[in-house]
Structure 1
Amino acid sequence: MSTYRQTFISANGIRLHVAEQGDGPLVILCHGFPETSHAWRHQLSALADAGYHAIAPDLRGYGASECPSAIGQYTSLDIVSDLVTLIDALGERDAIVVGNDWGATIAWQAALLRPDIFRAVAALGVPMMGRAPMAPSRLFPQSDRAWFYTHYFSIPGLAERELERDVGATLRKIYFSASGDIGARDQDTPNPFGLMPRNGGMLDPLSDPPAMPTWLASGDLEKFVQAFSISGFRGGLNYYRNLDRNWEVQAAFEGLLVQVPALYLVGERDTGLAIPGMQGIIDAMPQLVPNLRDSQVIPGAGHWLQQERPDCVNNALIKFFGEL
């Protein structure tokens, strides 16, 4: 397996660090939280071998990419704008966009708003959703004793203090607890992306595994640890701090459908499937994505799908791309 190239590209007024491999039609790979472009290491090589130019940016605020200081510079429209100008900076006219977790949300929005540029979309984990009836700060649950993790993330500085105390332990706990390796997921399974006690931190209920799963080699984990040791978590957390703003501006696009060809993949043990009503949202996706070509559940896999089951993801992507 050849090694991906790394470079910096100026796009939309900021400097983005990107990993890339191969030549051919352009495929942009968008990571989630807390990840970097290295999360796509298996896809970069497989797509390059299949005849594509695969490029995975560290999204703004992550890894070696610039981290703007203002919270308001991390809306979904900011990230989509980064991708549009990145394509132009590469001298290309269009691309297929692929995303996992937050990257899936960005990929859906990119395909929704600029089908002239993003000619197809593949999303891992997060389905395409219609605009919620109320802002996320009002929609997600909270009480005197517990609150949804997004409320915790929304307070500047609070989550940073906990997550940056020991970056290695933070990533080990989150990666393991959201992976399929934790076992069949039920209401008692520790979930970093669910309800959490108000009187404690996000990491308190999570186990620090004695050994990491086989899909995450020590060298790969260390790359993530090094990246977040330098960047911190503020950039990634700022995405969550714009959930209400994203909801507000989404009103302008109400009623638009994702018209380009689409693929959806989710791990059987993805943390998102534990959210009440999520299966119904997935089942209803064809109403919002009329050209949804396939929707697959990957047995035994968790939230880090492209890392946990790279062969399944690579085969599904290459098959989907080949049929466009």
Structure 2
Amino acid sequence: MLDYLSPYSKKCDLPALSKLTEERAKWIERKGQDHLREAFSNLSNFAPSDWKIEDGVVKIGDADQLTAEKMEQLQVHLKKLIPWRKGPFEFFGHSLDAEWRSDLKWDRIAPFLGNLEGKKILDIGCNNGYFMARCLPQKPELILGIDPVNHCKAQFETLQKFMANPAMKFELWGVEEIPHFENFFDVIFSMGIIYHHRHPIQQLLDIRKALVPGGQVILESIGIPGESSTALFPEDRYAKMKNVWFIPTLNCMKNWLHKARFTDVQVISSTKLTTEEQRLTDYCPPPHQSLENFLNPENPELTIEGHPAPYRFSLSARKKPLTH
């Protein structure tokens, strides 16, 4: 099941990861997963296709490659997997506009990434694999996405059905599994994850351990404005989200990285989140909600609860390289 990790068995706890993977493979049998189990019956007669990235859109195939009947089958499949949170994609000429314009985030971080050719990359909380696909043109050795959500896995498998790239892997793992790796990854993406967890410093320490010496972390988070090194700790919800713990200022995020003993800490971007980047679309329609529903309608500088409206902060940092 994890044969692709066998060559690296000295740098990961393969028995523990194999056991976990076997257990989580049974999640698809849980109640409420029928639509995911049934979705792929529509794709059984589809074959892998050429793909490209154009203007930030991951484009699979061309419009003239499918009959009208097969195009209808594909659209039924894609709509069964609503909501699509990350994108944009295009399937055989059919535009799939997701809730998030993830291409905008990629455009911010891409100039800070070195050459990814031959590298091993981890995307924590990878969702459907949009950012993984963005890495592929540089030919990494491995791009592993982890997200303990069957819905995300089903969307990823839709991409992989057509892209069929052996370097791209998805596992139903969470941040809790990062300690099973040591001196393994050249680059780790942690984007939109850290504020969902109780222990941000421990998470960064785990990431540092999993990186090779000199390896890079791209840390991206929701944040609040302010010059002080503080974090908002909401009593209840933030922007209608229950699972939010520490929402940092930019300086607080920088200090987290320093406290976790990272070096070469650089600010990539500090951007106020707008409805250009996060909004409802045909593939994330009502009754799902998005940024416009999370802000105070009378004062968009505040969330619906009265907290400061969200920024997005991106930083780059490195594990200290070995010295001779």
| Shorter-chain TM-score tier | 0.3 to 0.5
Q: TM-score, normalised by structure 2?
A: 0.33
Structure with the bigger percentage of helix: 1
TM-score (norm 1): 0.33
Q: Which has the larger radius of gyration?
A: 2
Which structure carries more relative contact order (alpha carbon 8 Å, separation 6+)? 1
